[in-house]
Amino acid sequence: MTIRPDRPGIYEFFAGGGLAGLGLNAAGFRTLFANDIDSAKARAFRANHVGVPFHEGDIWALTSDDLPERPDLCWASSPCQDVSLAGARGGLEARRSGAFWGFWRLMQALDAQGRGPRVIVIENVVGLLSSGEGRDFAAVCAALVAGGYRVGALEMDAALWLPQSRPRLFIIGVRDASGPATAGPIAPFHSSRLVTAQARLPQTVRDAWAWWSVSAPPHRNLDLAGIMIPDREAVWFDDPETTALLNLLAPLHRARVEAARISGERRVAAGFRRVRSEAGRKVQRLEVRLDGLAGCLRTPSGGSSRQYVIVCDAGRVRARRLTGREAARLMGLEESYVLPSSESAALKLTGDAVAVPVVRALAEHVLAPALSASPQLAA
């Protein structure tokens, strides 16, 4: 992969702890500027991106004059709670997800100054495809097309790289360049729900559509057990607390745990405590996976907030909470990454973020070629 000698520059909006920037930096990009409104995430960003200009505050308070240089790429992981399955599904009209329009206002202002980026990436939950009956996805894509960008999207699951099932949507706009694209949708990154959503877009957007091309990685060689802290260092629940937690299991999940216990083998499961509707009432349930993957990390403030590790070994079941460091590993962070001192803040940072190796793959396969002197067209 050929990248400009001076390295393409990026802005990272809604940056959190800067995980997208880490993936982009690993692929040869350099971060020119970042912002986030959350103070704990801002402290984590500064601790892990020393020297990068950072604005802590609402994106609506920024103007283009606050932004340095001319970016090659702008990345926006705008708040997703109102378009995720775990949130209120208020769509982009809701206050939090409406922050996208604060970002888009800055892109228009940069254009007016002749500093608009050639590539824009919007990262969000896959719920964006269906929120507002598809109007939110169409609005984002239409804004990019109106700005002169060729637009396309990919649904990428971190499970291909990491032991966490974490599907995310990446909408990519490219202008004055041509990124690697295929003639039509190809699995695994052009999912059936993405294909359906694309078919419902206005004709003007579909006319400017590109099926961006990313090669699937080799089979991952790391499972959930491989990222766990040693048992001797863990803080385990006592027997009554473990029993109370396991009593939240639905019959199917209870059967899975019991089968693992009876086997006598060591089995590690990830569990989430969440609210489910059953027979017209809301009940707390613990849901577990024993397939070597964690479910999608969520923030401690969300409806699916409590995250657990369940270990079956030698006929015994033990339970504890997932640690912030384990969550960081599930996002592809190095051990040197400085997490917030609070476990809750560390889990919030990771639960709101994008997985580092997914961003790096996207950068290497699509974003860097789109900015290179010789754009490629995949077969």
Q: Two tokens at 25?
A: 């930096």
263 located within any domain:
yes
Per the confidence metrics, is the pTM higher than 0.95? Answer: no
- List of E strands, the chain: 9-13, 30-36, 54-56, 73-76, 119-124, 150-157, 167-174, 181-182, 211-212, 267-278, 281-289, 306-313, 316-321
Rounded CA-CA distance 233/179 in Å is 47
pLDDT at residue 8 in the model: 95
Residue 331 lies in a domain: no
User: Residues 291, 355: one domain?
Assistant: no
DSSP 231: G
Q: The domain containing residue 318 runs over which residues?
A: 230-322
Asked if 234 and 154 sit in the same domain, the reply is no
Name the CA radius of gyration of the chain, rounded. 21
Q: Which residues pair with 30 in a beta bridge?
A: 9
Asked if 174 and 91 sit in the same domain, the reply is: yes
Q: At what angle do helices 39-48 and 343-351 cross, to 10 degrees?
A: 80
> Is 367 among the domain residues?
yes
- The pLDDT assigned to 279 comes to 85
Q: Does a structural domain hold residue 107?
A: yes
The token pair that represents 368 in the structure block? 């860097």
SS3 state at 149: coil
Q: Would you say residue 146 lies in a domain?
A: yes
Cα distances (angstroms) measured from residue 282 to each of 83, 84, 274, 278, 310? 21, 19, 10, 6, 24
Specify whether 21 is located in the same domain as 133. Answer: yes
Q: Quickly state the pLDDT bin for 80 (edges 50, 70, 90).
A: low
Using CB atoms within 10 Å of the CB of residue 200, give its burial: 0 to 12 exposed, 13 to 18 middle, 19+ buried: middle
**AA letter at 148:** G
207 & 315 share domain: no
Q: Is 378 within the bounds of a domain?
A: no
Same domain, yes or no, for 205 and 247? no
Number of domains making up the chain: 2
Confidence grade of residue 99 (pLDDT, cut at 50, 70, 90): confident
Q: What is the pLDDT of residues 131-170, one digit of tens each?
A: 888 998 999 999 999 999 999 999 999 999 999 999 999 9
Asked if residue 362 and residue 301 are part of one domain, the reply reads no
Same domain (yes/no): 25, 154: yes
Report residue 341 as tokens: 């001192």
In this structure, are 26 and 141 located in the same domain? yes
Mean pLDDT throughout 250-277?
A: 92
Residue 342 domain-assigned? Answer: no
The mean-pLDDT minimum among 43-47, 54-58, 122-126, 272-276 falls in 272-276
The per-residue pLDDT for 81 is: 47
Average pLDDT, the chain: 90
Task: Quickly state the pLDDT bin for 276 (edges 50, 70, 90).
Answer: confident
Q: What is the pLDDT of residue 374?
A: 43
